Structure 1
Amino acid sequence: MQFFFIFFNFLFFFAFSKNALSKNFTMPPLVHTSAPFALVVSADSGEVLFDKNSSAFIVPSSMTKLLTLYILFDAVRKGHFQWDSSLFVSKNATQKEGSRMMLIPHQNVLLKDLVLGIIVCSGNDASTTFAEAFSGSEPQFAQHMNQVAKGLGAKNTHFTNSSGLPDLEHKTTCQDLACIALRIFQDFPEYYPYFKSKDFTFNKVRQWTKNLLVRKGIADGMKTGKTQAGGYGIVASAQRNAQRFIVVLNGMKTEQERFHQAGSLLNWAFDRFVTINLFKMNSVVKEIPVFGLNQKVGLYTPKPISICIPKYQLKDVKVKIIYYNGVYAPVRKGELLGEVQVLIPEKPKKVFHLYGNRDVILKSWWRKVLYKLGF
């Protein structure tokens, strides 16, 4: 097979981007946060833009509920629960300390109300109610949480309850919280609007979200947390001009510090970086000929290909599409046939694999013989 590639400047793509930028590109300044643990990630490309002790163990407090919500959304998707499912509220659930949805012992609550009770009210009674409905008991649910966390890639997470109540063995990292948040975006985009809710009334009690960034319109989700051991923390996300960033912070001393530090990092990311979507999920990047046949096979990417870069580097980024100029039959759908390479100055080369989008098979034995002989 002959190795072939297309090489071109990244500005070719940018000419068709919706995000028009000023020509006066400036280098991102050094950014600082008072939070002892911090991470800023592009939700579109997964690239880390800022990292401060993100792999260190932290006390996640109510940010734990993001994983509870992931499991809840997955249960609805799979048909195990419906939004109008009625869940029984145990006395145990209503006796949980901390934030509450104001559930009453032995009442029934709709799942759609329970979701808002978890997100807006940060109800420990609400998350426990779902845990008991899903697994029978909270300890069993915690075991399931840890299995799901590992499957999502949150490998340094160990939870002992569904709400984030203090426990010496209850821990995670900023990296893992960002991983869980990203998977919520990727796997359940239709359910994300729940995180935008600013208030919720249940049992005649109206509560406002504890996420000041959501209340002020700076972010559109996701979850705050606060315990004496962990301090104030937040997983915040926002979308502007078709690009989304996630900020994870923990260990701050006050609610106002949490609000200002998370807002500042979000604004910094939007001001200094640009996200370019190169190819959509399952899009055919290039069609290539099958050797000796009057047929072609498309090279597709099973995942969207996006990059997030500092605005000042935009003019220096280059893209290569590398593939075989003529492949031999049989070709199987999903066979690796090429790759997209993104070259960014002073950064490791980014490689995205391309696969065949269909089967090309020689069905009869005599056709296979003639093909091997070059006829």
Structure 2
Amino acid sequence: MKNGGFWKKSILIVVAVLLLLIPQQLLASRPKVEAAAAVLIDAQTGEILWQAEGDRVVEAPAMAQLMTEWLVLDAVRGGHVDWEDSVRVGGDEKVTQASITPKPDTGKGRISLRADDQIPLNELFMGLAVSSSTEAEQVLARYTGGSEESFAWMMNEKARRIGMSSSTLFKPSDAAKVPATSTNGSLPNGSRMTAKDAAVLCRALIESHPEVLRMSSVAQTEISSRGIYMTNTNAMLPEFAGPHAYRGMDGLKAYGSEKEGYSVAGTAQRDGQRLIVVILGADSREKSFQAAGRLLDYGYARSGSFAERATSWLKLV
């Protein structure tokens, strides 16, 4: 036991010395990220800890969904809408694409909506927050803003107020073709921004509505009005215990397709320190999660507690 204690202390001393002596150039050269753009920030200070093409403007429909969530949460807080509201989809067109229950790493969730459906607002919100449903996104935009066009104006106005750059542009998504009575359905899915701006959005959203973390981190949500369950698309949540699960991850969104690339806007908290990572335009869902995990490890290796620095640094080398 004595020898065991001696070696344990010796190993800890060696690790401590290494952490103190690691050249900053070594950490600065890591990690390798395969994506169109990526940013890591400290959630408390907003300091950029690492970036690659952080000012590059790319398509970012996932980030538009986060802004949609923010405006709905604002409307609920302001009393303009209520979680128990029964939201009518509207219109008289055909049913949208059939619903499936996605696995954590299979992509966008879908809710089969009919024109005469009436769905509780809270179920639509959870379908968007948990499984990135574009159908729910459109219905929420029309219900909260009156029309997709006016809702897009609200999103862009909010972006300016929270300090996002002029490169940011929000447009409503028409990918799901949800039937409606007051929209022409012709607006393109053209939301775009930089990874830096996406990180600004995530940080400001968490500060304004911290409850979004609880809502976006549940593993599965029930859409009782449609008789389906939707699984979270963020495979980094610890609850999934899969290859991409990351300790401390508690939101916000994973989204993408082969056409537009795969993106992650994630946040983790360890020992009281919260980091926010944004990956835009990775070639695959797996690469987006891998890149996000590497960046978070890098952040905790740089500025986490002693234990987190040791653990994260060992994963990087």
**Structure 1 length as normaliser, TM-score?**
0.63
Q: State the shift of 1:99 in Å.
A: 4.0
User: Percent of pairs identical after alignment?
Assistant: 25
Aligned partner (choices 213, 232, 238) of residue 209 of structure 1: 232
Partner secondary structure for residue 59 of structure 2: coil
Structure 1 residue 27: Cα displacement = 4.1
Aligned residue runs from structure 1 range 24-63, under 5 A: 24-25=19-20, 26-28=22-24, 29=27, 30-31=29-30, 32-63=32-63
User: 1:241-299: per-residue Cα shift (whole Å, max 9, x none)?
Assistant: 10110110112111111111111111221122138xxxxxxxxxxxxxxxxxxxxxxxx
The answer for the alignment partner of 2:303 in structure 1 is: 273
Aligned to 1:142: 152
Say if 2:121 is the partner of 1:111: yes
Cα offset, 1:181, TM superposition: 0.6
SS in 2 for 1:212: coil
Unpaired runs of at least 5, structure 2: 1-14, 99-107, 177-186, 311-317
* Cα 1:154–1:110 shift into 2, 3 Å: same
Q: Distance in 2 between matches of 1:256 and 1:188?
A: 29
Q: Secondary structure at the match of 1:140?
A: helix
CA change 1:173–1:245 in 2 (3 A) is same
Matches within 5 A, 1:329-368: none
- Specify every segment of 5 or more residues in structure 1 that has no aligned partner in the other structure, as ranges: 1-20, 276-309, 312-375
How much does 1:190 deviate? 3.1
Alignment of 1:89-168 (within 5 A): 89-91=89-91, 95=96, 99-155=109-165, 156-161=167-172, 167=188
Secondary structure (helix, strand or coil) at the match of 1:213 reads coil
Letter in 2 for 1:167: P
Q: CA deviation at 1:198?
A: 1.1
Contact 2:169 2:192 in 1 (8 A): yes
Identify, as 1 or 2, the structure richer in helix: 2
Distance in 2 (CA, whole Å) between partners of 1:84 and 1:61 is 27
Structure 1 counterpart SS, 2:253:
strand
Equivalence for 1:79: 79
Corresponding residue for residue 220 of structure 1 = 250
Q: 1:93 to 1:81 in 2, by over 3 A?
A: farther
Partner of 2:179 in structure 1? Answer: none
Corresponding position of 2:207: 186
Deviation at 1:120, TM superposition (A): 1.5
Paired with 1:47 and 1:174, the residues of 2 have a C-alpha distance of 14
Q: Describe the SS at the equivalent of 2:193.
A: coil
Deviations 1:289-321 (Å, cap 9, x if unpaired)?
A: xxxxxxxxxxxxxxxxxxxxx99xxxxxxxxxx
**Could you say what secondary structure the match of 2:44 adopts?**
coil
| Residues 39, 247 of structure 1: 8 Å contact kept | yes
Per-residue Cα deviation, 1:314-344 (whole angstroms, up to 9, x for no partner): xxxxxxxxxxxxxxxxxxxxxxxxxxxxxxx
Distance 1:130 1:117, change over 3 A: same
Q: 1: CA distance between counterparts of 2:126 and 2:53? A: 31
Partners in 2 of 1:164 and 1:260 — Cα distance? 27
* Equivalent position to 1:171, from 192, 198, 216: 192
Amino acid at match of 2:169: H
What SS is found at the alignment partner of 2:153? helix
Q: Is the 8 Å Cα contact of residues 60 and 164 (structure 1) preserved in structure 2?
A: no
2:38 touches 2:51 (CA, 8 Å); kept in 1? yes
The CA deviation at 1:116 is 0.8
In the TM superposition, residue 93 of structure 1 has moved relative to its aligned partner by: 11
1:154-209, Cα deviation, whole Å (9 max, x unpaired) = 12211110588893743111111111111111111134310111112222222211
Secondary structure of the equivalent of 2:157?
A: helix
CA distance in 2, matches of 1:57, 1:164: 21
User: Which has the larger share of strand?
Assistant: 1
Structure 1 residue 50 displacement after superposition:
0.4
Shift of 1:103: 3.2
* Deviation for aligned residue 1:74: 0.9
Cα deviations by residue, 1:66-87 (Å, 9 ceiling, x for unpaired): 0001111111111112221221
Cα distance in 1, alignment partners of residues 173 and 85 from structure 2: 20
Distance 2:61 2:206 in 1: 21
Q: Tell me the equivalent position of 1:247.
A: 277
- For residues 142 and 226 of structure 1, what CA distance do their matches in structure 2 show? 20
Give a deviation string over 1:112-167, Cα, whole Å, max 9, x none.
11111101221111011111111221122112111111111112211110588893
SS in 2 for 1:259: helix
TM-score using structure 2 length:
0.74
Paired residues of 1:58 and 1:230 also in contact (CA < 8 A) = no
Q: Count residues in correspondence.
A: 257
